[in-house]
Amino acid sequence: MTKSEPKQKLLAKKSHSISGNVSVPGDKSISHRAVILSMISQQTTKIFNILDSTDISRSLNTAMNLGIECKKKDGFIEIKGNGLHGLTSPKKELYFGNSGTAMRLFMGVLAAQKFPSTLIGDTSLNKRPMERVALPLRNMGAYIEMENDHAPVQIYPAEQILGCKHTLSIPSAQIKSAILLAALYANSETAVTYNSITRNHTELMLESFGRPISYNDHEIKITNGELKGREAITIPGDFSSASFLILATLMSKDSEILIKNVGLNPTRTGFLKILQMMGGDITVTTDPNSNFEIQGNIKIRSSKLQGINVPNNLISLSIDELPLVFLAAAFANGTTTIRNASELRLKESDRITAMAKLLTKLSIEVKELKDGLIIKGGTITGGEIDSFGDHRIAMTALIASVCSKSDILVHNTTNIDTSFPTFVKTMNQIGMNITEQDI
């Protein structure tokens, strides 16, 4: 049984300039992984700067439903790890809301347990493809059932999880991570090979939790066995959240901001390279004291952007930020082409069609392709926008107001809480004017 979320609408008035020194909340992808690895490690872990959002609450609630003690303390979350085999059978379905990351990563862990489990999400998540994760896990011996490629996902105890060699046919960090988590329970070493680089947060965190793992641009090898764990871990600021501030500043007149302590993992920052290719004035300073994840500061100044053909190798390194690339293209002079991005059709919404409709509504000339968009830069008008139930579409539409001719009203924006619950407060802090409207 799914749950419905209340609706909300936000109005973004045309703003003048943006300025300030700001931080963004903890990284969502890394927060999910910190919860899961702490849960199955052999010690208690304190997680600092964990993202306090709806999606991360799904991971924490799932951990507690599996018998893990999670306590919210002053400034951190404390998770008491029970080891790989210390989870207990859940008394009810495991509900993941809108979080595809949480559902897919937990599939990797739950596939190796000696008890059955049922994974379910909200209406949106229950439409997203899950067979892509189940298939490689079945090849490792997992017993997983679902109908028509969608949740509910039924997982039953497997006789044995097998270590083997996988070739990723889809460039997805979630699929890769599910395999690596299941590999901890395997009877031998597991290897994953791939052609496209995707975010490597799972590899870095497994290494930091004491699991022998080797990886390069084409292959990962991991040995089975327990995680020693960490006493404490600090989550860097979320680069995907910072991306909204970055583009808003570039598109605003006479603007400059400094974003502090944000994650700069090179498998996540393709968006910066794309914007710099378009002419964005962006300066990155890396913190020499970065721990398991690179982090630092980003300074951004107003810029005139030029249309480009986005290189294929940057698509998987900017997959969550591509709606913002589409908006940058609308603001830029000339034409921008984004191809090889068909994965966007399988996100919280079909982000190719959603952004084509959004930009068309804002009077931008767009040609929709099977795997991307061709966008001719122009003058962005205001208007009313539907978020399609997608947090990134909602936030992208709202920041378009910094260079629009008139206000932008976005419907169905409650979903923003899944990844960036302080979005409105943060954007208003640097000079935007976003207010909640009566339904």
The one-letter amino acid at 251 = M
What is the sign, positive or negative, of the torsion defined by CA atoms of 403, 408, 410, 413?
A: positive
User: Which tokens in the block code for residue 218?
Assistant: 């084409």
Selection from 149, 114, 112 nearest residue 134 by Cα: 149
Percentage of residues in the chain having pLDDT higher than 90:
93
DSSP H or E segment with residue 284:
strand 281-286
Contacts of 438 (CB under 8 A, 6+ apart): none
What is the edge-to-edge ordering of all strands in the sheet holding 433-437? 383-386, 408-411, 9-13, 433-437
Contacts of 169 (CB under 8 A, 6+ apart): none
User: Which tokens in the block code for residue 137?
Assistant: 């896990």
Domains in the chain, CATH or no CATH each = 9-23+236-437 (3.65.10.10), 28-234 (3.65.10.10)
Residue 361: predicted pLDDT: 97
Residue 428: predicted pLDDT: 97
Whether the predicted pLDDT of 290 surpasses 90: no
Residue 231's pLDDT band, with cuts at 50, 70 and 90, is very high
What is the model's pTM?
Answer: 0.94
User: In terms of pLDDT, which residue wins out, 289 or 225?
Assistant: 225
Residue 6: predicted pLDDT: 55
Measured in whole angstroms, the distance separating CA 91 from the mean position of its chain's CA atoms is 29
Selection from 318, 344, 328 nearest residue 399 by Cα: 328
- 3-state class (DSSP) for residue 153: strand
Distance, first Cα to last Cα, the chain: 26
Whether the CB-CB separation of 192 and 214 falls below 8 Å is answered with: no
Q: What is the largest CA-CA distance in the chain?
A: 63
Contacts of 232 (CB under 8 A, 6+ apart): 45, 46, 47, 48, 76
Whether the predicted pLDDT of 135 surpasses 70: yes
Whether the predicted pLDDT of 314 surpasses 50: yes
Whether the CB-CB separation of 82 and 68 falls below 8 Å is answered with: yes
Q: What is the dihedral of CA 244, 246, 252, 254, to 10 degrees?
A: 150
Q: What is the pLDDT of residues 379-398, one digit of tens each?
A: 999 999 999 999 999 999 99
Q: What share of the chain is helix, strand, coil (3-state, %, to 5)?
A: 35, 25, 40
Which residue shows structure tokens 């083997």? 164
Across 64-93, average pLDDT: 97
- List, by residue number, the catalytic residues: 320
- Distance from C-alpha of 18 to C-alpha of 256, rounded to nearest angstrom: 6
Alpha-carbon Rg for the chain in angstroms: 21
Residue 7: predicted pLDDT: 75
HSE (side-chain half, CA atoms, 13 Å) at 291? 12
Measured in whole angstroms, the distance separating CA 60 from the mean position of its chain's CA atoms is 17
DSSP H or E segment with residue 12:
strand 9-13
Whether the CB-CB separation of 414 and 7 falls below 8 Å is answered with: yes
- Distance from C-alpha of 386 to C-alpha of 157, rounded to nearest angstrom: 42
DSSP H or E segment with residue 47:
strand 44-48
Across 51-70, average pLDDT: 97
Q: List residues bridging with 298 in a β-sheet.
A: 259, 284
